[in-house]
Structure formats: C-alpha cells, structure tokens
Structure 1
Amino acid sequence: MVTCLLLSYQNLAKLTLTATDSEAQFAGQDCQFILRLIHAKHHAQDLTFCFQKGQSKLTSIVNDDSVYLYATSKNRGYFNPGRITLRSSFPFGLYNVWTHLDFDYQLLLYPQPLENTLQDLSSSEHNVAHSMGKSRLGVDQFSTLKSYQPGESLKSVAWKQVAQGRGWLTKQFEQFSGGDHVLDISRLNHLALETRLSFLCYHIIELEKKGLRYALILPNQKIEMGLGSVHKKRCLTALALFERVKNQS
C-alpha cells in the first residue's frame, strides 16, 4: 500500500504544464484550450483533465506532449473556464491523486452566429434600401451570345447554334455584385440585444465569404468599410465586447 501511494505521487511529480494562447472563438460552441506537457524523468500515465466551469460534453485528449481541453459558454465576451483539475489513479486505482491549476484564461468569445434572411440589415452605404448591385461578367446567369473569337475556350461555344448553321457564337454570362454594405444594429431595435448581435455576426461571416466590403455601426462606434481577416476580427471583437466588461465570465 505504501509503495502504491509513492508511485501515485511520483507519477505527477515534476510534471510541467504550460498554457498556450488561444484564438477567439464563438459562444455556444465547444471552445478548445491547449496545454503543453513536459514530462520529467518518467512518462506520466493515466492523466485526466477537466475545467471546473463551463464543462463540455467533449472529454480532454492527452497526447505525449499536449493536452486538448474543452469548455462551453453561452455568453459572448471574455470567458474564464476556471481552474483545471488534474487527476490520476495510477497505478492500480487505489489512490486518487489530484491538483487544481489556475492559468487565468481570458478567451474572447464572439456572439453565436444565427442564420437569418433579413433584407433590411445590410444596406448600401449611400442608400437606405438594399443595394441590387451591378452586373459584371461571371458565371451566374446567361446574358447573351457574341461572335466567337479565336483563342476563346471551346466550353463556351454555343454548339446548338453552330449545328443550326448560325455560325460560331459563344455564350456570355453575368453575375451580380452587391456593392458595399453597412451593417447597422439600429435597424434591429425590435429584437433582443443578443439576437441582434448574433444576426450581425452571421452577416459579417457571410459577407467575408462572398468577398463583399462592409462597415459596422454600433452606438458610439463605427468601423469603416473594409474586407479581410483583420477587418473581420475587428468587427467581431466589437460585437463580442459590446456592453461587456473584460473580466466577465
């Protein structure tokens, strides 16, 4: 019994854990945290990790040099999942050795994106009505036929017209670009605050996917027109911290 107790203690002795920086994630989802694991002279065995708060249904994953933990929060803003409990019942399950570790996590959580089809949320910068956009060459909708030019792709040749003896023609298509968009939270005043922020979050993600520029208007804050990962992060951060304090869990 004494030998088993000593082995249980030595299994965790001089084990080093280091928290790594975590990228901002979304509220309402399983957030991932990563710890770097450094063993001493021996390889620690039978290790389990869990957070004291915001526990997830996903269990922790322990590799040779890394630990992946999960926690869930429904609230946007800064999320602190609390201390980590490390346990081990090595070698025979007779003793349960444990410790609590506090890495003071402050993970930024964006609002949970909610899919919506509100047409009045995203408007043209210079027009209250939703922009219908301008057509440009593309692949969305058939536009017209034009004379074939040497060197053009044979995939666009109107073979039906060629077979009818109408000469060599090519199909031309067009697609519509929505122009610049302004996401204004005041247009959603009839909805609850968290719903408004979730709707805006969804539209930011969708506009980024479509490559359309957008601006964000919040009370006492306006983020100018832009596009790209840095602009997206700035807008989502503004939504996450809207009327929030930094140490809120």
Structure 2
Amino acid sequence: MTIFSLPKSVRRLVDKSFEYWLSRRIPNRKEHQLNSRNIMIYPTRFGLSYLGFVVLVFLLGTNYQNNIILLFSYLLASLFISVMLHSFYNFSQLRFYSMAKQQGYAGDELYFPIQITAVKMHYDINVHFTDRTLNSQIERIVQCPRGSQEIKLSYKSSKRGKHYLGRVTLFSEYSLGIFKSKSILDFGHCAIIYPKPTNLIVGQYQLSPQSDEQSIESYQTSNLVGTDDFSELKSFVRGESRARTAWKQLAKGQGHYSKHYQANQGQLKWLKLDDMPSNDVETKLSYLCFLINELTATNQHFGLALSTDTNNRSMNIPPNTGINHQQACLTALALY
C-alpha cells in the first residue's frame, strides 16, 4: 500500500462504516418522519466563520477587559445557539412517503414522487439523491405550508436492468445559513429499465412453427396483422392508430370509437429470443420489447421465451394478455 492509496482506502473504510451506521440508525422504509433520531445538524462554512468571529470578539474583550465587547460576544454566542435550536425546529416533524419502484424504458426520464406532509410551516427544504453520480437535480421548496404536497426526483439511464438508487438526502440551511439540518433517508428506491423498443419491419423475417409439441412454438410475424378476431369497440384514445377507427359508427354520429381485436386462440403465439433477426443480444431484446407492446396494444395472447429451458419460469412466461402480463414480460427483458 502506497502513501497515495492510503487516503482512498481510509475514505472507503469511513464511508463503509458510516453506511453501516446509517442502515441501523435510519433503516429502509416507505415512510419517514424527521425527529431527533434521524436529523443531523452541523455548522456551515459561514457558521464556522461566525463561530470564529465570536471567539475572536471574546478574546478581544478579555484581553482589553472591556465589558461591552464581552457582552457583545455573549450576545453573538446566544444567537448561535438559538439559530441551532430554530434550525432543528424548522426541520423536524416533516413526514416523507415514497414508493420504492418505478419502471421505464432506456433513455427515458423516470420520476420518483415523494409526498411531503407538514403540520406547520417549514422553510427551505431541499431534496436530492445522495449518490451525486446519478446527476439528480436538487428539488427545493422555499415555503412548505401545512398539509401535503409532492415533489419528484428525476433519474435517467441508457442501460437496461434493475438499478438501485440508494438514499435520498434532505437538507435545510434555515435560518441565517449558520447551520445545516440534514437527514439521509432510505426509501429503497430502484428503477426497472426496459430495453428501448426498436421497430421491427413486418416481413423482415419469416419463421415457421416447430413440429415438436413439447418445444415452444415459434412466433410468426404474419400473425401481427390480418388474422385477429374482432373483440369489441372502445372509446378512441388520443395516440391510437386511426387505422383502428370504427368509421361506420363515426359516420352515423354515434361517437369516435376504435376497434379492438383478439388473437385467434387456436394457435398460441410465443416470442422467442433466438428467433429475432440479429446477432446482438441487446438488439434482440429491443425487438422483443417492440413486439410485446404491439401485441398488448391489440389485446393478443402471447408468451415470452428467453431460455431454451422450458422449466425456467422466470425467463419463460406462459401466454397471457393485459397490462400485468406486459409488465411481467418487459421486466423479464430488463433482468435478462
């Protein structure tokens, strides 16, 4: 161990010890209330300068035996202590609540909402992720009135997977900026990042079903269009394809509806990783992500096969439909 590596090793040891102390002092939970157990108060740089000035004034008064200067130093010292107590009073009794998990696609901005409940007026409340490598912006509330309000911490990643975001730091320098009240809370925040969907051109490849009934049947691109059965009419939602508009009902003045189809249940559809037209795994996952969204939008039954081992339930999801099935399949892609 060299003299240059020693400070880094000591810093890592201190950080590890502090993290262990935090995990015992402020454990992971969805809701936290600030109190004397989880609030840390220490002087800011301005506060240390102020304290040094108080000591200097006191020494001058003692040296020259000037009671007015001594009285002035006592006044400054009492203000120092009063501000410390006021800083704690301003920061305490706040209640924070946040859900731990958010999902999104690679490259998209994710937002972690944190609900703040106050029983009195608070000032200068700042919130950000403790890990500064996440490039999270500091969300500031100048005045936090009595009641509930919400702030959102943003997170963005270009890599799929499950990302643990660590703790959330809250701080306030109210009042006068002499002290900083701080708390480092753990909500267990994590982000499930799905692969970024890549459009797959219909007809780009053609697969045939396997003859072995025990094996997983290959997905045919031609099943995406033209072979679905009409299911129902639903109110048109902005963003849907106009190709699915029920023009007959619209022409009769019965309202704007869109047609929804259901896959023919005679032949179950499977999306297989090995069938995707690419040699790159990440590109295959992006294709699968696009197909999952397309099949879910048309209310079709499909299954997902990421492993050749049919007994691997975490990587092979049985055919189903709906939003929950879509999220289960996308999560499997993220964790692959």
TM range (shorter): 0.5 to 0.7
Q: CA deviation at 1:135?
A: 8.1
What's the CA shift string for 1:149-191, capped at 9, x where partnerless? xxx98959xxxxxxxxxxxxxxxxxxx9986643221123733
Matched AA of 1:184: K
Q: Out of 233, 237, 246, which is 2:331 matched to?
A: 237
Q: Are the structure 2 counterparts of residues 225 and 35 from structure 1 closer, same or farther at C-alpha, using a change threshold of 3 Å?
A: same
Contact 1:120 1:129 in 2 (8 A): no
Matched AA of 1:44: H
Q: Out of 88, 91, 111, which is 2:175 matched to?
A: 91
RMSD: 3.9
Matched AA of 1:20: M
Q: Gaps (5+ residues) in structure 1?
A: 142-151, 157-175, 243-249
**What is the rounded CA distance, in whole Å, between the counterparts of 1:203 and 1:59 in structure 2?**
37
**What is the rounded CA distance, in whole Å, between the counterparts of 2:334 and 2:185 in structure 1?**
27
Residue 39 (structure 1) aligned with residue 118 (structure 2): yes
Contact 1:120 1:187 in 2 (8 A): no
Equivalent position of 1:149 in the other structure: none
Q: CA deviation at 1:212?
A: 3.0
**What is the rounded CA distance, in whole Å, between the counterparts of 2:92 and 2:328 in structure 1?**
43
The count of residues paired between Structure 1 and Structure 2 equals 214
What's the CA shift string for 1:53-100, capped at 9, x where partnerless? 363566537574433222223332322111111121223334333222
SS in 2 for 1:230: helix
SS in 2 for 1:50: strand
Deviates more, 1:112-121 or 1:3-12: 112-121
SS in 2 for 1:212: coil
**What is the rounded CA distance, in whole Å, between the counterparts of 1:58 and 1:119 in structure 2?**
44
**What is the rounded CA distance, in whole Å, between the counterparts of 1:140 and 1:71 in structure 2?**
35
Task: State how 1:36-75 maps to structure 2 within 5 Å.
Answer: 36-40=115-119, 42-53=120-131, 55-56=134-135, 60=139, 64-75=148-159
SS in 2 for 1:33: strand
Q: CA deviation at 1:22?
A: 3.4
Q: Out of 68, 86, 103, which is 1:24 matched to?
A: 103
Contact 1:124 1:182 in 2 (8 A): no
Residue 130 (structure 1) aligned with residue 218 (structure 2): no
Residue 209 (structure 1) aligned with residue 293 (structure 2): no
**What is the rounded CA distance, in whole Å, between the counterparts of 1:37 and 1:239 in structure 2?**
34
Matched AA of 1:197: L
Q: TM-score if structure 1 supplies the norm length?
A: 0.67
Equivalent position of 2:188 in the other structure: 104
**What is the rounded CA distance, in whole Å, between the counterparts of 1:122 and 1:67 in structure 2?**
48
- Percent sequence identity is 24
Q: CA deviation at 1:225?
A: 2.7
Contact 1:89 1:97 in 2 (8 A): yes
Q: TM-score if structure 2 supplies the norm length?
A: 0.52
Q: Are the structure 2 counterparts of residues 39 and 124 from structure 1 closer, same or farther at C-alpha, using a change threshold of 3 Å?
A: farther
More helix by share: 2
Contact 1:124 1:130 in 2 (8 A): no
Equivalent position of 1:164 in the other structure: none
Q: Comparing both chains, which one has the higher relative contact order based on Cα–Cα distances under 8 Å and sequence gaps of 6 or more?
A: 1
Equivalent position of 1:190 in the other structure: 278
**What is the rounded CA distance, in whole Å, between the counterparts of 1:70 and 1:227 in structure 2?**
31
Q: Gaps (5+ residues) in structure 2?
A: 1-78, 210-216, 234-241, 253-260, 310-314
Deviates more, 1:177-186 or 1:2-11: 177-186
Residue 10 (structure 1) aligned with residue 77 (structure 2): no
Q: CA deviation at 1:19?
A: 2.8
Q: Are the structure 2 counterparts of residues 98 and 61 from structure 1 closer, same or farther at C-alpha, using a change threshold of 3 Å?
A: closer
Q: Are the structure 2 counterparts of residues 128 and 75 from structure 1 closer, same or farther at C-alpha, using a change threshold of 3 Å?
A: closer
**What is the rounded CA distance, in whole Å, between the counterparts of 1:215 and 1:43 in structure 2?**
53
**What is the rounded CA distance, in whole Å, between the counterparts of 1:154 and 1:86 in structure 2?**
54
Equivalent position of 1:171 in the other structure: none
Q: Which has the greater radius of gyration?
A: 2
